[in-house]
Amino acid sequence: MTAPTTVTTADRPLGLLRAHGAPSARVRIVAWVLLLVLGSLAVVTVVTWQLLIRATDARMDTALRTEIEEFTALTASGRSPADGAPFASVDQVLRTAITYNLARPNEKFLGYLDGVFRYQSRQQSPVLLAGDPGFARLAGSVPAPVEARYESAAGEVRYIAVPVTLAGDPARGVIVVAYFADQERSAADDAALLMVAAGAVTAVLAAVAAWLVAGRILRPVRDVADTARAITETDLSARIHAGADTRDELGALVRAVNAMLDRVEDGARAQRRFVDDAGHELRTPITIVRGHLEVVDVDDPADVRAAVTLVDDELERMNRIVSDLLVLAKAEQPEFVHPAPTDVPALLEETLRKASGLADRQWALVGAGEPLVADLDAQRVTQALLVLADNAAHHTVPGDRIVLGAAADTSTVRLRVADTGTGVAPADRERIFARFARGSGSARRSEGAGLGLAIAGAIAGAHGGHVEVSDGVGTGLPGQSGPGATFTLVLPLRADHEVP
């Protein structure tokens, strides 16, 4: 009989679903917490937004009345503030009142004479109310002060219209103070959107906290379940120890599990055969592709051999990428890279041949003519260089130059990818290597998730090196997008290889 295996909670995660497909208790706890948090945030956001809207409306109404009071005070004396002479006409009153009052953002002053538009403030507005006949009919010839609203092409307009008369002038004027309400409320809308974003972050944090707390609460049950699963997979002859007190719920669970183990022992061998077959089938697709490529028969054998070699190499590299995705977070482990003596100029030439298909750019190779051997993982370094080349392609346009090169000293080899693209701001040169980070000044966006530079940094770190960012090779010539950027893989040369 195999010795029993002790399993802790960390050995196996608690599943999201129970055996019969229903959500686990941990998931239900998180779901209820999220429901309460999201409901509360929704109520707070809506109430806050409504309060901000009401405050904005009240502020607009107060401002409208204040402006009318200022117009009245300006014209109450009957004399022009410019020269102190009496007003000669209603037209002069309108012109003076609008000229001597400065409109706020989203506010508009208009003057009408006998129902026809005459003057307006210089403040830009979303729509031209002066040319709106519907608004002119409502506000341009009112016989008494009117405070109302109007639906314009830019949304709601709140306005006050006040008639203006002058002794000795039969003309009738109207001064209108209007606010574009929807535009004035945009600050409240922005605040609501900010609250929604903050609420989303809060909900995520609450879900994480609930997940952790629920895990601690359910840990005893999880320990029993994990132990039962481990015994099922490693030693079906062993049983779970019930402990001194077997009268509680956990004791009943242990007895039920031990009885279950008696029934499932006979099916263990079939299960293992199934796992072996599944592993074999997962490898079959790649094996089939290689088998077909190896028997390709076309007119040019040399091209066939080159194509087969290239595709086979890429398939192997993709297979390793898929296999290593689970350990990218542990890139410092030795198995992440497999260094071997590598011909650096040949590696760069092969990388350039692959990278030149990424985009229509002026690809070039410099500084790689002299022999240079370094202890590198060729496939991983190729992957990192292609990531940097793809990044350069996404930040350049046709006509820009992308250069691959190499240099070495007594201890390091420097593999660089330089371009004449838009470049990287100095403030971004450390941040862009974080996962999901992008340059703040980049106008172009790649189709990736923002992990490319993080992967390149992980590959360099696994070799004991790092990635440096500096200015590119842009010189300001026509056809170049900017100064560009240079990404350099700085890798140890290894003690057993000297620079030729």
Distance CA(172)–CA(70), nearest Å, equals: 20
More confident residue, 125 or 351: 351
Question: Residue 488 pLDDT > 90, yes or no?
Answer: yes
What pLDDT was estimated at residue 232?
53
Taking a C-beta distance cutoff of 8 angstroms, is the pair 407, 386 a contact?
Answer: no
Q: What is the mean pLDDT of residues 341-365?
A: 91
Confirm whether 319 is domain-assigned.
yes
More confident residue, 386 or 268: 386
Q: How confident is the model at residue 241 (pLDDT cuts 50, 70, 90)?
A: low
Question: Residue 443 pLDDT > 60, yes or no?
Answer: no
Domain harbouring 377, CATH code = 3.30.565.10
Mean pLDDT for all residues in the chain: 76
Radius of gyration of the chain (CA): 38
Assessment of whether the complete model's pTM goes beyond 0.75: no
Domain span including residue 417: 331-492
The answer to whether residues 310 and 361 belong to one domain is no
The answer to whether residues 273 and 353 belong to one domain is no
DSSP conformation letters of 379-438: HHHHHHHHHHHHHHHHT--TT-EEEEEEEE-SSEEEEEEEESSS---GGGTTGGGSTT--
Distance CA(8)–CA(213), nearest Å, equals: 18
The answer to whether residues 483 and 349 belong to one domain is yes
The answer to whether residues 373 and 483 belong to one domain is yes
- Which of 82-96, 100-114, 320-334, 350-364 comes out lowest in average pLDDT? 320-334
Question: Residue 9 pLDDT > 80, yes or no?
Answer: no
The answer to whether residues 344 and 360 belong to one domain is yes
Question: Residue 274 pLDDT > 60, yes or no?
Answer: no
Q: How confident is the model at residue 125 (pLDDT cuts 50, 70, 90)?
A: confident
Question: Residue 272 pLDDT > 70, yes or no?
Answer: no
The answer to whether residues 335 and 452 belong to one domain is yes
Confirm whether 51 is domain-assigned.
no
What pLDDT was estimated at residue 327?
37
What pLDDT was estimated at residue 122?
82
* pLDDT one-digit tens code per residue, 46-61: 998 889 888 888 888 8
Residues 37-60 as b/e (b if ≥16 CB within 10 A, e otherwise) read: bbeebeeebeeebeebbeebbeeb
Confirm whether 209 is domain-assigned.
no
Taking a C-beta distance cutoff of 8 angstroms, is the pair 122, 101 a contact?
Answer: no
What pLDDT was estimated at residue 240?
63
CA distances, 257 to each of 15, 215, 228, 240 (Å): 18, 22, 7, 8
Q: What is the mean pLDDT of residues 355-377?
A: 86
Taking a C-beta distance cutoff of 8 angstroms, is the pair 389, 417 a contact?
Answer: yes
Taking a C-beta distance cutoff of 8 angstroms, is the pair 110, 164 a contact?
Answer: no
Percent of the chain with pLDDT over 90: 11
Question: Residue 188 pLDDT > 50, yes or no?
Answer: yes
- Whose tokens are 């009245």? That residue is 72
Q: Is 179 helix (H, G, I), strand (E, B) or coil?
A: strand
The answer to whether residues 281 and 409 belong to one domain is no
The answer to whether residues 316 and 410 belong to one domain is no
Torsion sign, CA atoms 64, 67, 68, 69: positive
Q: What is the mean pLDDT of residues 443-454?
A: 55
Q: How confident is the model at residue 227 (pLDDT cuts 50, 70, 90)?
A: low
Domain C-terminal end among 281, 304, 328: 328
Beta strands 401-408; 362-366: pairing state = parallel
The answer to whether residues 304 and 347 belong to one domain is no
Taking a C-beta distance cutoff of 8 angstroms, is the pair 41, 151 a contact?
Answer: no
Confirm whether 160 is domain-assigned.
no
Confirm whether 469 is domain-assigned.
yes
Q: How many Cα atoms are found within 13 Å in the side-chain-facing hemisphere of 438?
A: 14
Question: Residue 78 pLDDT > 70, yes or no?
Answer: yes
Domain C-terminal end among 281, 306, 328: 328
Distance CA(324)–CA(326), nearest Å, equals: 5
The answer to whether residues 336 and 472 belong to one domain is yes
The structural domain count of the chain equals: 2
Closest CA to 58 of 181, 175, 194, 183: 181
The answer to whether residues 372 and 436 belong to one domain is yes
Which strand (E) or helix (H) includes residue 166?
strand 155-166
Taking a C-beta distance cutoff of 8 angstroms, is the pair 27, 16 a contact?
Answer: yes
